[in-house]
Amino acid sequence: MLILRAPDVGDLSRPFWEGCREHELRLQRCLACLRFIHHPERECPFCHSAEFRFEAVEGVGVVDTFTEIHRTFVPEYRGAEPYIVGWIALAGHEIVRMFGRIVQSSSAQVAIGSPVHVAFDTVPGFGEVPYFVLG
């Protein structure tokens, strides 16, 4: 797997990372307009409410857009090139996209609209981090 730097966890993102430890994708949901939001925000970008809860989502979707990284400037990723990252449009949730790594056997297999599902990888000293797998 790709070597990762441990993410910074704050009060705002803690429920997301707690879900990952349980191999569950949890996204922030506005209690006023009921829309899902990712990355976690202090205020809903749609209705400006500050009332949220985190809810588990299925973790399936399609590749909305992607890029293959051949040269990275992030030290923790050096030597792991090439790798693919992209925006995933999560199924059943209008407007919710999640950025993540896409794992496959060949970059030629990844295309806009490719179906993906979430999986989790352990980062030593941190815990579980989500990524997406084709299929």
User: Residue 15: enclosing H or E segment and its boundaries?
Assistant: helix 14-21
Q: What pTM did the predictor assign? A: 0.85
Q: How far apart are CA 54 and CA 25, in angstroms?
A: 10
pLDDT tens, residue by residue, 11-23:
999 999 999 999 9
| Residue 103 token pair | 């794992």
pLDDT tens, residue by residue, 59-94:
999 999 999 888 887 777 777 778 889 999 998 766
Strand ranges (E), the chain = 25-30, 36-37, 52-57, 60-69, 83-90, 97-103, 115-123, 127-134
Query: What are the phi and psi torsion angles at 19 (to 5°)?
Result: -60, -40
